[in-house]
């Protein structure tokens, strides 16, 4: 069977509810990982998605962050928050096993720290958060399952993934240490669905609200779906739903969708 796994930073689920529901009705992803909910779990519009046929798991937070996993199939939540945080209470990591009819699929909704300004404490937090993700990913890869780690990584992987590399040289999303840490994550054995399905230059997933970034196509590619070997073997396609950015009251990110033959 074919299933689709989507990731979307909605930049407030309350501000984006109608836009999100509309897209869900059109795209009907089997699994949807959401980021930047900007609300607590109790305030998440759970019923609206249940009415569309989805099970819902939420790790919410007031004002900032917040991640969710929605699935047409039953969800078993396996981990909420990355271990090793020493009091880190940011809602940025939600891991679950989806009981798809053919086989279980492990899915993680991730919202990586932005890290700006760099250098500084926020950048240190980003890099240490990535170290914690690397540690957890090692454990997950040992399971040898179909695994998708999907979301807003706040990482521009290469100079092909930004309109103006020079302008972003000192940004936390593009600095060498950030990109090296991202490569270290991939080198554990994860495959980006984007690259596996052909990749390409200047395929953006985010355009700033400011300075006419969308109109000028001043974008960056920072939303990624990373697959275990068992997942990468089954990848059949990857799509960036760029049209969402042109609609009324859009998120600054657009959905990305991986299609797997499981």
Binding mask 32-51 for DNA (x = CB under 7 A): ------xx------------
Of the candidate spans 131-139, 163-171, 180-188, 203-211, the one that interacts with DNA by CB under 7 A turns out to be: 203-211
Nearer to DNA, 154 or 228 (CB): 154
Distance, in Å, from the CA atom of 98 to the CA atom of 146, rounded to the nearest integer, reads 10
Tell me phi and psi for residue 238, to 5 degrees: -145, 130
Q: Which of 12/128 has CB closer to DNA? A: 12
Q: Contact 147/100 with Cβ under 8 angstroms?
A: no
Packing angle, helices 121-142 and 176-187, rounded to 10: 10
Q: Find out whether 133 and 82 touch, Cβ atoms under 8 Å.
A: yes
User: C-beta of 122: minimal distance to DNA in Å?
Assistant: 6
If binding is defined by CB under 7 A, does position 15 make contact with DNA? yes
Under a CB-based contact definition with an 8 Å cutoff, are residues 259 and 27 in contact? no
Smallest separation (angstroms) from DNA to the CB of 30: 27
Out of 78, 116, 158, 218, which residue is the one contacting DNA (CB under 7 A)? 116
**C-beta of residue 153 within 8 angstroms of C-beta of residue 10:** no
Residue ranges that bind DNA, judged by CB under 7 A = 11-12, 14-16, 38-39, 62-64, 113-114, 116, 122, 208-211, 249
């Amino acid at each position: 069977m074919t299933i689709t796994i989507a990731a979307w930073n909605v930049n407030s689920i309350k501000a984006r509810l109608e836009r999100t529901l509309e897209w869900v009705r059109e795209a009907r992803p089997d699994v949807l990982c959401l980021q930047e909910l900007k609300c607590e779990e109790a305030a998440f519009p759970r019923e609206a998605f249940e009415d569309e046929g989805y099970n819902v798991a939420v790790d919410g937070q007031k004002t900032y962050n917040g991640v969710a996993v929605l699935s047409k199939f039953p969800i078993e939540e396996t981990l909420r928050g990355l271990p090793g945080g020493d009091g880190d209470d940011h809602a940025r990591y939600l891991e679950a096993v989806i009981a798809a009819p053919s086989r279980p699929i492990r899915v993680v909704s991730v919202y990586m720290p932005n890290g700006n300004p760099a250098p500084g404490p926020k950048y240190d937090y980003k890099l240490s958060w990535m170290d914690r993700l690397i540690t957890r990913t090692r454990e997950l890869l040992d399971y040898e399952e179909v695994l998708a780690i999907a979301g807003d990584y706040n990482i521009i992987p290469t100079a092909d993934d930004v309109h103006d590399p020079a302008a972003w040289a000192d940004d936390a999303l593009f600095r060498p240490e950030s990109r090296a840490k991202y490569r270290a994550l991939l080198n554990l054995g994860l495959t980006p669905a984007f690259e596996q399905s052909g990749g390409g230059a200047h395929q953006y997933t985010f355009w700033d609200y400011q300075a006419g970034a969308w109109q000028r196509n001043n974008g960056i590619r920072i939303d990624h779906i990373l697959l275990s070997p068992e997942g990468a073997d089954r990848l059949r396609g990857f799509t960036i739903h760029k049209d969402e950015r042109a609609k009324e009251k859009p998120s600054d990110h657009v959905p990305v969708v991986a299609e797997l033959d499981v």
